[in-house]
Structure 1
Amino acid sequence: MVDGVVAGSKAQHRQALLAARRAVPGATRTDEALALAGHLGEFVAPGDTVCAYLPVGTEPGSPHLVDRLRELSARVLLPVTRFGGDGEPLALMWGVYVPGALVAARFGLLEPAEPWLPSLVVAQADTVLVPALAVDRNGIRLGRGGGFYDRSLPLCRPGARLVAVVRDDEVVDELPSAAHDVRMTHALTPAQGLFALAHTL
């Protein structure tokens, strides 16, 4: 993928980005996952509330990332996916991360066991780590298209750090956007760590 203006539809971008991720050697993914976890101490403080997620498949990171957050004495919340009666995705609910207490869920994910916290609890988060296939320098994020984060991110409080977690070459100059897109304030990459995106400067 070329670092620059990305042309084409979101579906085309997703296909290309997913193919590029599948081509990354396993050893590289492992090294990058360790690097991502190593950067957390640069911006997560004891007592922070962090909404995170468990990376799956070729997503950057590993379960060690959420364990590292707990080591930093953060309150770690993990997402719970739900659908409405019409089959539409709903805003994420959240559960407190307790090692060894996750349960199997949709899409091959692991989620916190009940009791769950309401969607609005995301407004308590100091930092929200957001899965992404790419992010541009103005904060536009390209996700997988499920819609869960599109419904959840508007509930975040003003001033919260919204962090797209991506590989270094997945930070691009421009991505297609829609009116409902909530811009990321930061990106977190293995080599660069956490850095602010242009619209927050």
Structure 2
Amino acid sequence: MTGPEGARGAHPDKRTLRRGFLAVRNTLPSDDVRETGLVLAERALEVPELARARTVAAYVSVGGEPGTAPLLDALRARGTRVLLPALLPDNDLDWGVYEGPASLVEVRHPGRMALWEPGGERLGADAVTAADVVLLPGLAVDARGMRLGRGGGSYDRVLARIEAAGAHPALVVLLYDCEVVAHVPREAHDKAVHAVVTPSGVRRFP
């Protein structure tokens, strides 16, 4: 959901990989995407940090992304405070609280696909630093836990903000099984995630 590629996403190998993973996602039937979302919600709650989290920063999946809606609702039903992003004009992210499907609004950003964002009060970009777990969108993760993002740089800013605040949330990415790969290119600003959740289970990284 991070938008078009920016300077940080310009690594040529990453561009090639992104095109390949997106091409596969674009062929997935909507029923498969929905079914994956249901399974991922069950699997994700097997991650101890997510099961006990008081605040989770998440996102609303779009297109062929593994569906997050069942997980958002499962977390909210447990009493977890769920924060969702709102894209700002400079590609940074503001945050709002998820109050159920009816609280989402469809926002069409110029030059980007429509996104579902929280329709209530905006809490500011620093709100994410209070999260116990941050769910990161991605296209792939490798054996080191290095995540391949969409290339817009939004979550690079989020992770830098979290680090600057001295916060240490668990970083988790939701993917299809075929998107866990041997290697993705790493750049200096890239940070490893702590776990990946796929329909077949949870894999943790050192």
TM-score by shorter chain over 0.5: yes
Query: Could you say which residue in structure 2 is the equivalent of 1:130?
Result: 136
**Secondary structure at 1:172 match in 2:** coil
- 1:62 positional shift: 3.9
Distance 2:40 2:192 in 1: 21
Identity %: 40
In the alignment, does 2:170 pair up with 1:161? yes
**Secondary structure at 1:187 match in 2:** strand
CA spacing shift, 1:119–1:18, aligned 2, 3 Å: same
Distance 2:120 2:39 in 1: 31
Distance 1:170 1:47 in 2: 26
Per-residue CA deviations over 1:148-181 (Å, capped at 9, x if unaligned) read: 1111112225431101111111011110111111
Letter paired with 2:203: F
TM-score with structure 1 setting the length: 0.85
- 1:32 positional shift: 1.4
Distance 1:124 1:101 in 2: 21
1:2-151 aligned within 5 A = 9-42=13-46, 43=48, 44-45=50-51, 48-84=54-90, 89-90=91-92, 92-99=93-100, 100-105=102-107, 106=109, 107-151=113-157
CA spacing shift, 1:47–1:28, aligned 2, 3 Å: closer
Distance 2:57 2:168 in 1: 14
5+ unaligned residues in a row in structure 2: which ranges?
A: 1-11
Which of 161, 175, 180 is the equivalent residue of 1:171?
180
Per-residue CA deviations over 1:104-124 (Å, capped at 9, x if unaligned) read: 222311111242112122111
- 1:46 positional shift: 5.4
**Secondary structure at 2:36 match in 1:** helix
For the aligned residues, what is the CA RMSD?
1.7
Letter paired with 2:182: D
Distance 1:20 1:133 in 2: 10
CA spacing shift, 1:101–1:30, aligned 2, 3 Å: closer
Query: Could you say which residue in structure 2 is the equivalent of 1:4?
Result: none
Per-residue CA deviations over 1:83-114 (Å, capped at 9, x if unaligned) read: 23xxxx22x11100012122222231111124
Distance 2:181 2:53 in 1: 33
8 A Cα contact 2:40 2:197, kept in partner:
yes
User: How many positions carry a matched residue from both structures?
Assistant: 185
Distance 2:117 2:32 in 1: 26
CA spacing shift, 1:47–1:11, aligned 2, 3 Å: closer
- 1:73 positional shift: 1.6
Per-residue CA deviations over 1:22-50 (Å, capped at 9, x if unaligned) read: 22333332321110011233233456100
Distance 1:48 1:24 in 2: 33
In the alignment, does 2:191 pair up with 1:189? no
8 A Cα contact 1:45 1:73, kept in partner:
no
